Structure formats: C-alpha cells, structure tokens
C-alpha cells in the first residue's frame, strides 16, 4: 500500500464529520453515518472541512495517508452525502438569472456602491488584512487552475480549445517560473507567509473552504461540466477589475514587488481571458450542448453565493478589528517591511 509522504498534514477536526473522515484516513475509526452528513450545516466548518479533505485526496493527498484512499468506496459514498447536502443548499440559495446572457451581463457590471473586499483592501486595508486575505486564498491559489483542469476531458470543440488556451496561460505558458501558483507563492513570501502547500488549512474559515470546494465539486462531476464553465466564467470575468484594486492595495501598503506582480499579471491576462471564456468556452459549449445553459447559469449564481458569504465574513471581522482566521497569524511584520 503506497503512502503519500510529501503531502500536507491532515487538519484538525472541526466536528463529528471531519473527525470521522480524518480518523478513517489514519485507520483509527469508521466513516460518519449518512444521517450525520444530512443533518450538518451545509456551509458550516465541519461539513466544509470534511468535504475539503475528501477532495484533497484527488489533488496532493495528505502525509501518511495511503494513496489508494482516493478511490476508497466508503469515502466516495461519504463524499457523495456531503456533496448532496452542499449542492442542495446551493440550489436552494441561488438567485437564478433568466438565462446565460443575463447572468454574464451581471458579471460585467461593477457594483455601484464599491463596498466589496477588494474595494476595502484598496482603500483602507492594512498589511495584516492583506496577509489574512492571502492566507485564506492560498487554499486555491497554490493549486490555481487545477480544479478547472478536470473539465477539459468533458468538453469538445471550441469549448475545449478555449478552455485549454486559458489554462495554458494559468500554467505559465510553458514556463515554470510563470505558473500562477508559483507567482502566488512569491506574493506570500513578500507578505511573510509560509508557502507550504496546505499550511493555512487549519486557519482558513468555512467560507474560504466553500469557495474551493465549489470548484472541486463542479470539476469532479461530468454532469456538472456546465456549472464548472459558469464558475470559470465568473472567476475570469470579474478577476481583472478586482486584481487591479488588489495590486493598488499591495502598492499602497508596500507589500513587495512579487505581491504587486501577481495581481498586475491577472489584470492583463484575465482581461484577455474574459473574451475567450465568453465567446469560445461558453459559446462553444452551448453550441455543442445547448441543454447545459441552465447549468452554466447555476455555476455563475452559485459562485456568487459562496463568494458573497466569504466577503461578508471578511468584512465583518475586519471592520470589528478582529482576525478573519480561526488561528490568527503571528503579529510580527514581515522583515521586508521593517526597513
């Protein structure tokens, strides 16, 4: 039995679901009963962490956990129960747009009130808040583009070609030093954060876990390929203006050149990606499979739900002067900012 030695450590449990899943992975107990998953809060710490752990087996796994647990039938049944609870809540909580054109149009319009997280960080965010934001987002950005890559075998024609073109850029256009996950590691270094994969899993909020779980949920199910395309459209279409504000926040606080570069890179790249996603990925998908239009809409709307929940959590904590993390970062300022 092959054991992974290079992956991150299993996280600390946050309730009966996540405790049972992690103990099972270590050979120390049974999996949770289906009714435990059915009764759990769909956006709560316990369910979101348990689901994240199940999904992570398909990425880099965990230190000391047998690699063949990725396809363990019992774990897959448990994951399905957790997914059902999460997906049901998402379907019940989304504000469905009329059609794909309406949903995409909503992404192209910036909120008039300018009260989002990136606005806050640009206008008044402090270095400690930028560090927390990077720590929360590291759960995705240190594997940036990986969740979306699952959809490539499920697409064809223009949609596949367009998706592959955008993913190629995310992976550095063939240059290892330009892979976006590596650029984000550089940002973290500038901010005095640990770049070890999975380092901030224990500290991350349930809301942050949900944003990453949504990508894995859509990416790992062929039947949800339309929703994954909708999610991808949301990310790429809204990224450029948000990245511009974050780049300004990094400059204003003196975060460092790599921190600035990560978001500057996304301002330019994602402005191009937006056009490819709209016309080639979405357009190509619906040309081949027009029946997936409602799924594309759902993917866009579900992304809004989880991102709005994370934004509300971050802003409520920061405006109250408290950490948004379960375990606050060390108070010391990174060495790069002490001179």
pLDDT at res. 337: 55
**Within-domain flag for 4:** no
**Contact by Cβ (8 Å): 52, 8:** no
- Identify the domain boundary among 39, 59, 92: 92
Go through 238-273 and write b for each residue having 16 or more CB atoms within 10 A of its CB, e for each that does not: bbbbbbbbbbbbbbebebbebbbbbbbbbbebbbeb
**238 domain-assigned:** yes
Domain count, the chain: 2
8 in a domain, yes or no?
no
Domain boundary among the residues 48, 71, 92 is at 92
Shared domain check, 101 and 86: no
Residue 85 and residue 108 share a domain: no
Does 315 share its domain with 172?
A: yes
Show Cβ contacts of residue 57 under 8 Å, excluding neighbours closer than 6 positions. 65, 69, 70, 75
Same domain? For 48 and 115 the reply is no
Q: Does residue 250 sit within a domain?
A: yes
Please give the residue range of the domain that contains residue 56.
16-92
214 and 304, same domain (yes or no):
yes
Domain closes at, from 74, 92, 110: 92
pLDDT value, residue 7: 84
Please answer whether residues 224 and 285 qualify as being in contact, where contact means their C-beta atoms are separated by less than 8 angstroms: no
Q: What is the pLDDT along the chain (339 residues), one digit of tens a residue?
A: 455 457 899 999 999 999 999 999 999 999 999 889 989 999 999 999 999 999 999 999 999 999 999 999 999 999 999 999 999 999 999 887 889 999 999 888 877 677 899 999 999 999 999 999 999 999 999 999 999 999 999 999 999 999 999 999 999 999 999 999 999 999 999 999 999 999 999 999 999 999 999 999 999 999 999 999 999 999 999 888 999 999 999 999 999 999 999 999 888 776 778 889 999 999 999 999 999 999 999 999 999 999 999 999 999 999 999 999 999 998 755 555 544
Return the pLDDT at 1: 46
Task: Give residue 67's pLDDT.
Answer: 94
- Are 273 and 136 found together in one domain? yes
Evaluate whether residue 11 is within a structural domain.
Answer: no
Structure tokens at 63: 């230190």
pLDDT at residue number 268: 75
**Is residue 175 assigned to a domain?**
yes
Q: How far apart are the first and last CA of the chain?
A: 51
In a domain, 174, yes or no: yes
- Report residue 318 as tokens: 């920061």
Same-domain check for residues 202 and 238: yes
pLDDT of residue 112: 65
Say yes or no: 116 and 211 in one domain.
yes
Are 227 and 240 in the same domain?
yes
Q: With CA atoms as reference, report the closest residue to 334 among 254, 260, 275, 280.
A: 254
Does residue 85 form part of some domain?
yes
Same domain, 227 and 330: yes
Looking at the fold, whether 28 and 149 belong to one and the same domain comes out as no
> What pLDDT does residue 339 have?
44
pLDDT value of position 97: 86
* Statement to judge: residues 39 and 128 lie in one domain: no
């Amino acid at each position: 039995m092959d054991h992974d030695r290079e992956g991150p450590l299993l996280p600390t449990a946050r309730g009966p679901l996540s405790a049972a899943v992690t103990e099972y992975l270590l050979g120390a107990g049974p999996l949770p009963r289906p009714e435990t998953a059915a009764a759990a809060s769909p956006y709560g710490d316990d369910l979101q962490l348990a689901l994240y752990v199940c999904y992570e087996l398909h990425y880099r796994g965990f230190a000391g956990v047998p690699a063949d647990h990725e396809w363990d039938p019992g774990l897959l049944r448990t994951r399905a129960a957790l997914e059902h609870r999460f997906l049901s809540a998402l379907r019940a909580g989304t504000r469905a747009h009329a059609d794909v054109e309406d949903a995409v149009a909503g992404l192209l319009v910036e909120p008039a009130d300018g009260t989002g997280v990136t606005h806050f960080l640009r206008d008044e965010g402090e270095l400690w808040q930028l560090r927390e934001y990077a720590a929360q987002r590291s759960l995705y950005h240190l594997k940036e583009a990986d969740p979306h890559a699952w959809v490539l075998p499920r697409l064809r024609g223009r949609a596949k070609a367009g998706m592959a073109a955008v993913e190629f850029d995310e992976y550095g256009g063939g240059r290892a030093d330009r892979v976006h996950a590596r650029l984000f590691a550089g940002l973290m270094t500038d901010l005095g954060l640990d770049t070890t994969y999975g380092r901030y899993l224990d500290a991350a909020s349930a809301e942050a876990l949900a944003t990453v779980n949504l990508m894995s949920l859509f990416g790992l199910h062929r039947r949800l390929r339309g929703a994954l395309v909708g999610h991808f459209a949301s990310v790429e279409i809204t990224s450029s203006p948000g990245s511009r504000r974050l780049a300004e926040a990094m400059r204003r606080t003196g975060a460092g050149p790599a921190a600035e570069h990560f978001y500057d890179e996304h301002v330019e790249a994602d402005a191009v990606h937006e056009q490819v996603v709209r016309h080639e990925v979405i357009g190509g998908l619906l040309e081949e499979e027009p029946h997936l239009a409602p799924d594309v809409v759902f993917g866009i709307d579900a992304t809004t739900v989880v991102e709005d929940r994370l934004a509300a959590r971050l802003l409520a904590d920061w405006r109250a002067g408290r950490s948004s993390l379960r375990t606050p970062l060390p108070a010391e300022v990174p060495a790069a900012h002490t001179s």
